[in-house]
């Protein structure tokens, strides 16, 4: 359940459908993907997976903790070589299948816990790992592997849950949400930046987004429905309300203000220094 939510929040199909649902009901997940695009994800016009992280056909992109492959499908459509890695063999296979009809130069798959990564030093020009670090036993070791396999000058796209959302859900979320193999740590903004810079990367930007998902999750735990079919009046009303907010004349400004207060995720774009 939690893995599926991670995939929905961290990835999207190559084209996000128009937000619509029968009888005037907004689809929660499609709206969430639309909201993510408004936050800078999946920019087809610029070729950026996220603002500041452009992907081209010349790139070799590694996604560690690929989930169901929303991120790498976007990158495969750019023609990049794709390397996927995940601890879950079913997720690796699902992601491989999502890449079959893309113009990706090549697709390489690994089932691994990332310690170590079965990938040669200096392989990737782009490295992605979204909503993974909060799960691992040793973040420093995990990040050192990501750095090792990146080329000099490689760009990194890393995300973890934002503490504002994690703290909001304490006492309401299912206990398993904060237990292994799920979120075994809450990472502050300063700690996240220190982790990344301590691994030897230059932090280029730090941003956050996802007020919509933070509130949706809060209501989801109380609704006690299955994530595969989260049909509940509270969730439906919230999706309709957020759609109305985004459609209002100052919707973008309101979203930006709320994302800055309670965000689902924080995102770092970083660079591996060039070899001296």
Q: Which domains does the chain have, with CATH numbers?
A: 2-271 (3.40.50.150)
User: pLDDT > 70: what percent of the chain?
Assistant: 91
Diameter of the chain by CA atoms? 61
> What is the rounded CA–CA span in Å between residue 91 and residue 130?
14
> What is the rounded CA–CA span in Å between residue 259 and residue 107?
35
Strands 53-54 and 48-50: antiparallel
Which pTM was predicted? 0.92
Encode pLDDT of 101-130 as tens digits.
999 999 999 999 999 999 999 999 999 999
The per-residue pLDDT for 23 is: 54
């Amino acid at each position: 359940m939690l893995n599926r939510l991670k995939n929905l929040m961290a990835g999207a199909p190559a084209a996000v459908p128009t937000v619509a649902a029968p009888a005037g009901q907004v689809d929660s997940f499609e709206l969430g993907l639309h909201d993510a695009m408004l936050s800078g994800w999946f920019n087809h016009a610029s070729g950026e997976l996220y603002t500041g992280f452009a992907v081209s056909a010349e790139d070799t992109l590694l996604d560690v903790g690929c989930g169901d492959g929303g991120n790498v499908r976007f990158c495969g459509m750019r023609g990049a070589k794709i390397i996927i890695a995940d601890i879950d063999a079913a997720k690796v296979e699902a992601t491989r299948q999502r890449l079959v009809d893309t113009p990706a130069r090549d697709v390489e798959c690994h089932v691994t816990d990332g310690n170590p990564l079965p990938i040669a030093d200096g392989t990737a020009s782009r490295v992605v790992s979204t909503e993974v670090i909060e799960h691992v036993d040793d973040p420093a070791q995990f990040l050192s592997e990501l750095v090792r396999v990146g080329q000099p000058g490689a760009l990194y796209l890393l995300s973890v849950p934002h503490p504002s959302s994690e703290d909001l859900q304490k006492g309401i979320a299912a206990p398993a949400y904060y237990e292994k193999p799920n979120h075994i740590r809450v990472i502050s903004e300063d700690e996240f930046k220190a982790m990344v810079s301590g691994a030897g990367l230059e932090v280029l930007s730090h941003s956050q987004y996802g007020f919509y998902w933070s509130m949706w999750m809060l209501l989801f735990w109380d609704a006690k429905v299955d994530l595969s079919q989260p049909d509940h009046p509270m969730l439906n009303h919230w999706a309709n309300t957020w759609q109305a907010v985004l459609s209002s004349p100052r919707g973008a400004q309101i979203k930006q203000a709320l994302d800055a207060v309670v965000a689902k995720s924080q995102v770092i774009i970083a660079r591996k220094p060039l070899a001296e």
